[in-house]
Structure 1
Amino acid sequence: MAKRPPIKTTTRTPRTPRHPQGLPDRDTLLRFLREAGEADKADIAKAFGLKGSDRRALREMMRGLEAEGVLGKRGRRGFSEAGALPPVGVADVVERDPDGDLLVRLTKAGADAPLVRLAPDRGKAVEAAPGLGDRVLVRFEPLENGETEARLIKRLGQSAHRVLGVIRKARREIRVEPVDRKSKDSLLISEHDGRDLRDGDLVLAQVGSAERRYGPKLGKILEVVGREDEPRAASLIAIHSHGIPTGFSEQAEAEAEAAEEPTLQGREDLRDFPFVTIDPADARDHDDAVFAHPDPDPKNVGGWVVWVAIADVAAYVRHGMALDEIARDKGNSVYFPDRVEPMLPERLSNGLCSLREGENRATMAVRMVFNAAGKKVSHRFVRGLMRSAAKLSYEQAQAAIDGQPDDKTGPLVEGVLKPLWTAYGVMLKGRNARSPLAIESDERRVVIGEDGQVASITKRPSLEAHRLIEEMMIQANVSAAETLEQRRTPLIYRIHDTPSPEKIMALTDFLGTLDIPWTKGEAPTTRRFNKLLDDTREGPHADIVNEVVLRTQMQAQYNAENIGHFGLNLAKYAHFTSPIRRYADLIVHRGLIRALGLGSDGLTDDDIKKIKETAETITHAERRAMAAERDATDRYVASFLADKVGAEFEGRITGVTRFGLFVRLTDTGADGLVPVSSLGGEFFIHDDRTHSLIGERSGSRWPLGMTVQVRLREATPVTGGLLFEMLSEAMPPDKTAPRPRLGVRRRMDPGRGGPKRGGVPKGVRKGKRR
């Protein structure tokens, strides 16, 4: 990013600065504003004791300074020195620079306020990632190089500054309808600005002022990003809504194209080992390959050696390269049903860094030794050259082990696949002894047809092949963290905190409503959660207990400080196995290269200096990607169901709020809302202790986890919104629970004794109509 002139950040003093009384000169006025941060004319006049003609002279002076560009507006009446920024302020994310960085501008400032690069706030939990059009609370921090950056403190929601929406043309007006289902306000576009627009265009619009006091605001079209009816509209909307960085700079592409095939120089030859990649059938890149054999050491009878080979991305993406800068900004690849926004250019992600079958590839590999009880007794890392013996899908590998090999897996069963499964059986003993959290979750896969439309939504099968690869990757990640800690090399940990006392208390209260014991004073452990899940798995409350236990957990994140990984029940854990698609793994690879003396392209001093900031940045990017992926999937699901309005479905209540019930359909996993207003004529109370809506008069209940029948009333692909009508009957009252106390409610039906609708408010005289 080009170096900008220094930006002044000002600190507001708690008291009004003392100045000589009387009309100030230019320098005195500017010094006052510099000290105060910002002030309006009345504040300045009061500070200098100005009255009458002096006040008029002050207004003239400030008008002239503003015209010269010396003063800048702050809000409706405030002023500050031009270009000055407060230590903390509310800003709008207004654009993205050529490097992909988000730029913010102080919300209440005038045109003098500079654009400032946005970065996440250090040392704070990262919330949902902001994107274009969001409003954020930031801290403005001057940097050593003369620039200023905005540190994210909190995301405040959608800004009124920009709107992503769909053009709706009527005979007499053109509107932009927001794609965000939370936003209800549309924008009016002038006939002149909208003459080239078509109904259904996806646009980015800037919000102007209201045309009438109560009417819609005016909008200005900034960019046409696509069409509502395009097959890829869902992912386009998600990318623009969440500010996902796309594409690569010319320099980054050139660096990727200049990358060369790997050689044996400085590497261990692993090409005789029959590594195989086992991935989803539609995977385009292959980060990892595995191979196992019995341990030949006579001291480790029944032990196994497991090799995990990972693409050596650090050999191609080095500190200071344009590739490195953009990979750090992206943080991770983002996966949509119809496309991938990769962290690295295709030349690397699908080429030299992908462990393709039969091709020489640079690798960072770990050799792990397990004893007969499944405990890892040693490991070592090597930088090598490997050649994958086969590219297999999870389904292929599982079918071969289950006795149904195909032409490709048949020759691999005895020498490659069976040893992998036997080694996994040994590792499983160690996993069971560790007892990681065993929450069940149903994943759905959106299948896109050749026409770009949703062909089907299927449940992802849970195969032993998935668990085999998962456990081998976990152990490789543990080995990386252990090695870097032993060598005292800084690293980015993957941490997962213990559930908070508040969440445990809420879980305890909820379980009490189901007569399931949970001792309040006992510390939460994964083994304790797993026993709860096992004890309820075959009972009527299995789904709801699984759901509530999941909600009790904290969110995992990246951090330079280690607190362990609660869910996996591990003291040391780092991401090492996916450097093609996660920047965190690339930093860990560089740390290993530095710590073990495996090359000159390891972790640099500058990498180490920025490691806390990098951890925050990539956590922010991960949350941003998760939100975008979820939104795109919701829109594709709504598109799939759009022609099924009126159809009936089975589902389960997965969310209970005061305004309604969220229901997840059994077949598709689609989530939609049943508004509380459609549940019946009585008032419903939201009981957060039992996660239920309870009828105030009847006591009938709609609890979390209840299986229900619903009818689809509305599906809106552009927002991803689904609206359901409840067909099932509520559960009967809980006889053991206290009946809710009836509230005093004003009825709006004049026939039932309540106040009439409309009319003249009390205390206001009724005048004659003229």
Structure 2
Amino acid sequence: MPSREAILALLEERGELLTQARIAEALQLYDEYGIAALTKRLTAMVRDGQLLLGRRGGYAPARKLDLIPGVVLANAEGYGFLRPDEGGDDLYLSPYQMRSVMHGDRVLASVVGLDRRGRRQGSIVEVLQRRSPRLVGRVVVENGVTLVVPDDRRLHQDLMIAPGKERGATSGQIVVAEITDPPTAYRGPLGAIRAVLGERLQPSLLVDMAIASHDLPHEWPPEVLREAEAVEPEVTAAEREGRVDLRKLPLVTIDGADARDFDDAVYAEPKRGGGWRLVVAIADVSHYVPVDSALDKEAYERSTSTYFPGFVVPMLPETLSNGICSLNPKVERLCMVCDMQVDATGEVVKSKFYAGVMRSHARLTYDKVWQAIGLQDADARHEVADVLPQLEHLHALYKAMAEQRRRRGAIDFETPEVKFRLDQTGEVQTVGAVERNDAHKLIEECMIAANVQAALFLSKRKIPALYRAHEPPPAEKYEDLQQFLREFKLRMPPVEDVTPGDFADVLRMVRDRPERELIQSVLLRAQSMAAYQPDNRGHFGLALEAYAHFTSPIRRYPDLLVHRAIRYALSGGKPSAYVYSEAAMAAMAVHCSQRERRAEEAERDVDERFRCAWMAKHIGEEFAGVVTGVTSFGLFVELDESKVSGLVHISQLSNDYYHFDPVRHLLKGERNGVQFRLGDHVHVQVLRASLEDRKIDFRLVQPGARKPAETSSAAAAPTSRAYNYAAAGERYSLPSGRKPLPSLPPLPTHDRATGKPGKKAAAKLEGKRHDKAPSKPKNKSKPRAAKSGPPKSKGKR
């Protein structure tokens, strides 16, 4: 079957639209099998935005027509943006263009000019793929017509329910609904109610709502479970053949206290003459998940694990993620190894990859390692005495690598992460955040080093794989940043000359200034968003020329693809004969990036609502915080201890006319001259917290007001995620007794372009900011159900 590249080359060579029959003739496909395969490939290329199907049945390359494929990002006010698959500035979509699409749809659009604000304005040419048909909302009955008002405010059109499709739901109930007919330019979407979740919104319902709203796959197909159960639970003698034996090497895992699966182990030893040998061993998931198996297809569909307070929706079944793939202590496990030579300055000078078999010598926690090597606690050192020399070597290596990181100019945005702990009923028990210690950072640097070497290895051998790309700041954001910095007598070079070191220098210069948090926040917002790409574009934030995700194949599909590519390269395979082509990898990059964003949105939804649930318990109480956002309608304030954010509406400020300066991030009173800007330290009182609206309202407390101690506990947060590019994931405990989601009927098949029912095509789902480099993952929680245990958490490496 001709590749996608061959089809695109044919169309570009002919310089005209070709029908399927003419394409088949040109490619000499005459038999029934060849015609069927061509039909599937052309359909997939239309879906992925590579081709456009004309009204007369002719196909044309989208890039030849100057069409841009991307995902629609809707705003509650009715307008939206198109986020291009290939990156770059978004296209503005007017309310008229948004009538026939919804948030999450994939479309082809053309640039039709500039709007009055100078933004590129787009016109939707073709809908490639509809968003997930499932949504969660509240039933409203008006004049005998049943509507579902979506819980997600970005779904700006209410869903009209056809008569007889109400499923017994009454006004005010929270339901799971399904879009049966997508919107058009003349009417909104039509649908049916599939399940009733409850009468009122409660914390115990939040995760179920997020799973249903984002249509996260949370049940395993029978064939996937059969394949997972067929995997041998122990390493066999045949599997050890041909692998490097590392069983005597004292590799250790370092994770959170409540981790359940372990996908990376590390070892370091000093070398004569200076430097170290660093061994990073990663769970060999590619050995257990064959290409095109049921396990593989389900893992690709999910593409990532999704983490909520209490449990996880995993990418792989528990028998793999917590069993044979997990580098559990004192048992044999298969692994893929990055074996590196690091010089005295912390730079990797040589590396090699190989398949190995190992035995973890200890399962360690961040806290225990930090107590032993950082705090020099005698009891902790005694507990880890068997591997203490290796930990000391790792700590010395980390210090050299951290200094090398500083020299190359990597950007570090240090922002604590919130951690929730739930009680047995799913209610928020405590909220807190703590800073990372050197144990977290040690593992992060080891993982970054392995990821870089994986990218260099594959780039050199030209094997198709996914790279983690983080582009320099967009020109528009950077221009706003420069204007803002001038207010503080700070300057940065032009956008075409800026380097990560320039950002790092500004952060160092303002480290001891009162505006530090303000400036750091603005620098952070100027960054672009990281995504998976089929070619190596480097990582701006980490100041690296090559970067890929290699270290977490249990919970991220791109890592699994990198493992397969490395294994293929080690076998001596040629790029042209690899199972994945460049075009196929480009489509997979889009899919994995979208699934990542979907998981992040679901996690953020739950996170916001749990914050509201927590603050609802503290109405009337006062807390200290810092201004993290300034708008024309008020101030966003983040509380110091719990890191919960809320709004001080302009009506809650002293009586005056306030003027907003968007460049200086400033709100200033006309009469009293009072100014509020990012980074200001304030005291606020909690006025209101709504789970429905996901909003928390504060009132500004006058200076000298009482500040009670905040009822959150740092002890409740054993780990945190610092928001730099090497972020550690939060970890959660699982409340028992959680009820499963109501059983829902399977999704109907849909035509990808029209959203209407079809026999063959199935509607698929659509999936922050810039990237965070490897870190240790989040909590491994108990499985949602007996058959769906959690793999590693989402800490992004």
Question: Do these two structures clear the TM 0.5 threshold for a shared fold by scoring above it?
Answer: yes
8 A Cα contact 1:593 1:603, kept in partner: no
- In the TM superposition, residue 601 of structure 1 has moved relative to its aligned partner by 14
Q: Deviations over 1:564-616 (max 9, x none)?
A: 11111110111100000111111111110111118999994235541011111
C-alpha distance in structure 2 between counterparts of 1:583 and 1:187, whole Å: 34
Q: Pairwise mapping of residues 397-476 of structure 1 onto structure 2 (< 5 A)?
A: 397-401=369-373, 402-404=375-377, 405-406=379-380, 409-476=383-450
Q: Which amino acid aligns with 2:243?
A: R
1:365 Cα offset (Å): 0.7
* Alignment of 1:548 onto 2:522: yes
Query: Which residue identity does 1:138 align to in structure 2?
Result: V
Following superposition, the deviation at residue 244 of structure 1 comes to 2.4
Contact 1:331–1:618, Cα closer than 8 Å, also in 2? yes
Aligned partner of 2:285: which letter?
A: V
User: Match of 1:203, SS?
Assistant: strand
Structure 1 partner of 2:792? none
Residue 342 of structure 2 corresponds to 370
- Among residues 567, 589, 594, which one is paired with 2:541 in the alignment? 567
One of 325, 338, 342 as aligned partner of 2:297: 325
Residues 218/605 of structure 1: CA separation in 2 closer, same or farther (3 Å cut) = closer
Q: Hey, what's the Cα distance between the residues in 1 that align with 2:356 and 2:509?
A: 47
CA distance in 1, matches of 2:649, 2:136: 26
Contact 1:712 1:723 in 2 (8 A): yes
Aligned partner (choices 597, 604, 622) of residue 571 of structure 2: 597
Matched, 1:494 2:464: no
Work out the CA distance in 2 between the residues paired with 1:480 and 1:327: 21
Is 1:123 matched up with 2:95? Answer: no
Please give the secondary structure, in 2, of the residue aligned with 1:508.
helix
- Does the CA-based 8 Å contact 1:122-1:616 persist in structure 2? yes
Q: Tell me the residue number matched to 2:105.
A: 136
Please state if 1:180 is matched with 2:143: no
Structure 2 counterparts to residues 302-701 of structure 1, below 5 A: 302-401=274-373, 402-404=375-377, 405-406=379-380, 409-520=383-494, 523-597=497-571, 604-606=578-580, 608-701=582-675
How many corresponding residue pairs? Answer: 598
Change (3 A) 1:307 1:197: same
SS in 1 for 2:152: coil
CA gap 1:669/1:501 in 2 versus in 1, 3 angstroms:
same
C-alpha distance in 2 between matches for 1:137 and 1:349:
32
Larger-gyration structure (1/2): 1
Q: 2-side partners of 1:344 and 1:205: how far apart?
A: 27
d(CA) in 1 for partners of 2:482 and 2:55?
A: 55
Q: C-alpha separation between the residues in 1 aligned to 2:160 and 2:534?
A: 48
Structure showing greater relative contact order (alpha-carbon pairs closer than 8 Å, 6 or more residues apart): 2
Query: Counterparts of 1:257 and 1:153 in 2: how far apart (Å)?
Result: 37
Are residue 277 (structure 1) and residue 253 (structure 2) matched?
Answer: yes
Match of residue 265 from structure 2: 289
Instruction: Deviation per CA, 1:18-42: give whole Å up to 9, x if none.
Output: xxxxxxxxxxxxxxxxxxxxxxxxx
Shift of 1:502: 2.4
Tell me the SS of whatever aligns to 1:610: helix
**Structure 2 gaps, min length 5:** 1-53, 63-70, 73-81, 92-97, 110-124, 182-187, 705-797
Distance 1:669 1:617, change over 3 A: same
Q: How does 1:150-229 map to 2 (within 5 A)?
A: 164-166=136-138, 178-180=150-152, 197=169, 202-205=174-177, 221-225=193-197, 228=200
Deviation at 1:207, TM superposition (A): 8.3
Decide whether the 8 Å contact of 2:492 with 2:502 is kept in 1: no
Q: C-alpha separation between the residues in 2 aligned to 1:174 and 1:676?
A: 36
State the Cα distance separating 1:324 from its structure 2 match: 1.3
Change (3 A) 1:452 1:423: same
Three-state SS of the structure 2 residue aligned to 1:587 is helix
- Give, in whole Å, the separation in 2 of the partners of 1:595 and 1:208: 46
CA contact (8 A) 1:651 1:663 kept: yes
| 1:236-275 C-alpha deviation (Å, 9 max, x unpaired) | 2222222323222111111111112333122111111111
Bigger shift: 412-421 or 490-499?
412-421
The root-mean-square deviation of aligned C-alpha atoms, in Å, is 4.0
The CA distance in 2 between the partners of 1:191 and 1:711, in whole Å, is 47
Q: Helix, strand or coil for the counterpart of 1:456? A: strand
Aligned counterpart for 1:708 among listed residues 682, 707, 728: 682
Match in the other structure for 2:733: none
Q: Which moved more, 1:618-627 or 1:650-659?
A: 650-659
Structure 1: gaps (5+ residues): 1-79, 89-102, 105-118, 141-149, 210-215, 731-770
Taking the aligned partners of 1:284 and 1:243, their CA distance within structure 2 comes to 26
Q: CA separation of 1:189/1:478 partners in 2, compared to 1, >3 Å: closer, same or farther?
A: closer
Report the residue type matching 2:698 in the other structure: F
Identity of aligned residues (%): 37
SS of match in other structure, 1:292: strand
CA distance in 2, matches of 1:86, 1:490: 25
From the superposition, tell whether residues 169 and 282 of structure 1 become closer, same or farther in structure 2 (CA, over 3 Å).
farther
Amino acid at match of 2:246: L
Give the TM-score taking structure 2 as reference length.
Answer: 0.67
Counterpart residue number, 1:246: 218
Give the distance between the partners of 1:361 and 1:407, measured in 2 at CA. Answer: 27
TM-score calculated relative to the size of structure 1: 0.70
Q: Which residues of 2 match residues 63-82 of structure 1 at below 5 A? A: none
- The alignment partner of 1:443 has SS state of coil
Q: 1:493: Cα distance to partner?
A: 1.0
Alpha-carbon offset, residue 167 of structure 1 = 5.9
CA distance in 1, matches of 2:481, 2:466: 31
